[in-house]
Amino acid sequence: MMRNTLNSINCVQCYQLLFSVVPSLSHFLSFNNFFPFSSLSFFNFLRMCGILAVLGCSDDSQAKRVRVLELSRRLKHRGPDWSGLHQYGDNYLAHQRLAIVDPASGDQPLYNEDKSIVVTVNGEIYNHEELRKQLPNHTFRTECDCDVIAHLYEEHGEGFVDMLDGIFSFVLLDTRDNSFLVARDAIGVTSLYIGWGLDGSVWIASELKGLNDDCEHFETFPPGHLYSSKDREFRRWYNPPWFSEGIPSAPYDPLALRNAFEMAVIKRLMTDVPFGVLLSGGLDSSLVAAITARHLAGTKAAKQWGAKLHSFCVGLKGAPDLRAAKEVADYLGTVHHEFHFTVQDGIDAIEDVIYHIETYDVTTIRASTPMFLMSRKIKSLGVKWVISGEGSDEIFGGYLYFHKAPNKEEFHQETCRKIKALHKYDCLRANKSTYAWGLEARVPFLDKEFINVAMNIDPENKMIKPEEGRIEKWVLRKAFDDEEHPYLPKHILYRQKEQFSDGVGYSWIDGLKAHAAKHVTDKMMLNAANIFPHNTPNTKEAYYYRMIFERFFPQNSARLTVPGGASVACSTAKAVEWDAAWSNNLDPSGRAALGVHNSAYENQINSAKAAVGPEKIIPKMEISPLGVAIQS
C-alpha cells in the first residue's frame, strides 16, 4: 500500500507522508537543523553518478546484459541510490545514480523529444538555464541541468561540447545512424576511461574497475577531448590560449582575479541538497569557505537548507591543519566538524584506498587516505556534496618547489604542465576518494573562465620573491587582502603552503614509510626493476603500494594509466632540473623542498646530525588506539 501511494504523489508529499509514519525521522535527518524539510521546493536534479557503456559489441544476448549489469555494480559506490541499464541493439548504457531527492523523475538515461538520442552522463552543467533559452523550439523532459546535452547535439552536432560550462563525462548514442559520441570535461574533474574489445566493441567507464577485466586494451580518456564513432579517434575540443604554453603578458589585476574566483564559487552553489566545505585551514580551502559563507545567504540553497555553512576537516590529533581550520571556522562562523584519525586507521584503509582511487602514485595515496576517511564521516551526516580547493597550486605555482623557478618562462610552462596533468593526480584523488562513499566534490579553482583569467596574467607577477615579501601564490593572496572587508585573518591569508598529506600531520607520512619498511625488504628492492620494469618503484613505500595495485589491477593497460617520473615536492620531472640537490632527495612531500619548507627534511637531518635521505628519517611514534574520533 505504501509503495502504491508513493508512486502517485510528488516528492514533497512523499517526505510529509514518510515523516507522518515515522515522526522521529525528520529530527534524525535534520543534521542539527541543516535539513529544514518544510522549505522543500522545486528541484534541479543533478546527475552525479557512475556510468558504464558498451558500444557495438555484436552481442545483444541476455548473458551480455547480465555481464554489463555485473560490471556496472562495481561502480555502485558512486551512485548507491539507484541504477539503470538502457539497451539498444548491441549498445548498452548503464549508470549508478547518486539520487538528489526525486526518485520518480531523476532516472537516466536522458533523451531528446522522440528518444532517438540517448545520453548517460556523470556531471553538472552550470549554465544550463542560459543554454535552454537558446533552444526555444525544444521540449525538455526534465528540469535536470544535463538535459540540455541531447538537444544541443541535435542543433549543433559534435561542436556543442565547448558550449558546456561545467564538469562532465557523457556517452551519447544517436540511434538514427547508430553512432555515438563520448566527451570529458576540460580539466578532467570527472574520471573516465575508455577500452576496446576483441569483438570490435568500445567500452566507457567512470572507473577502471568497470572495464579492466573485459577489454583487450584500455586507457585514461583524455580530458578536454571527445571520441566519435564516426572518426574512431580522439579530438581535443578544449583549446584555451594557455594550452600552447606561450608566455602571457596581461597585467595583474587583483580585482578582476577576485571577481572571477568569486563567480566560480557562486555558480557551484547551485544545489537542492545539503552540502558543506572542506576546510584545511590553508589558503585555498579557506578562501573557498570565506566566499561561500559570504555569498550563501542570498542563494536558493540558503532558502532551502539555511544560511549556516558547515565545514569539515581531518587530521591526526595536533595536526597543523586542525588548528588552522578551527581558527578559520571560528572567524567565518561555520558549524565546524573536526575528524581525527590515527596512523593505524590510515594504514588499515590503504588497500581500500588503492582499490577505489586506482593508482599506485605515492603522493596521491598519501593524500587520498585522510580524504577517504573524512568522506565516509561526512556522508554519514547526510551531506551529498562538498566544495573543495583543488587546482590553485597548479594555476599559481603554489608548491614550494616553485621557489626555485629560474625565470618566468619556466615558471609559467611548469604551471601549464601541472594543470594538464591534474586529472592524474589531485582531480583523481578528489573525485574517487569522495565518490567511494557517494559524496561529490566541486572544485571552483578549476572553473574554465577562472583558469582563463588566472593563466593570462604575466607570470612575472606569480614569481616567488621573498626579498620583496612575495611568497607562493602571492597574486591570489593579494587579490583577497581586503582591509575594509577582510575575507580571512592576515596570518591565514599568508600561511605557508602545506600539502594535504603533510598538513594532516607530519607523522602520517613518516608512519607510512615505517609500515612499508616492515613489509618490503632490502632484498625485494634489489629485484624491483625486474618485477616492475614500468615505473619501477625506487622506495619501499612505492613498492608496497605497487604490490597492492597489481593485485587489484594486474593488466598492463592498468599500470600504464598511472604517471611516473622523478618528482620532488609534487614537481614534474622537468622541474627537478631547477636544483641539482633535488635529484638526491626525490620525495613528493612538501618537506622535500630543501631550504624552503619550515619543517624540511634537511632540518631533521641536521638535528639528527646524520646525512641520510628522507626514507630513513622515521621518528619514534606512538600509535593511538584504533577508531576515528569525531568532534563537532
595 Cβ partners below 8 Å, 6+ apart?
602
SS3 (DSSP) at 372? helix
Other CB atoms closer than 10 Å to residue 66's CB: what's the count? 10
Apex CA 403: angle with CA 264 and CA 480, to 5°?
30
The answer to whether residues 175 and 116 touch, using CB atoms and an 8 Å cutoff, is yes
- CA dist 235 and 229 (Å) reads 12
- Which of 197, 191, 256 lies closest to 220 in space, CA to CA? 191
- Sign of the four-CA dihedral 75, 76, 77, 81: positive
- CA dist 422 and 260 (Å) reads 21
Q: Which amino acid is at 234?
A: F
Q: Prior bond to 109 cis, omega within 30?
A: yes
- CA dist 244 and 252 (Å) reads 20
Phi then psi for residue 465, to 5 deg, are -135, 85
Question: Where does residue 256 rank: exposed (0-12), middle (13-18), buried (19+ CB within 10 A)?
Answer: middle
- Which of 613, 245, 281, 579 lies closest to 401 in space, CA to CA? 579
Catalytic positions are: 49
Phi then psi for residue 185, to 5 deg, are -60, 170
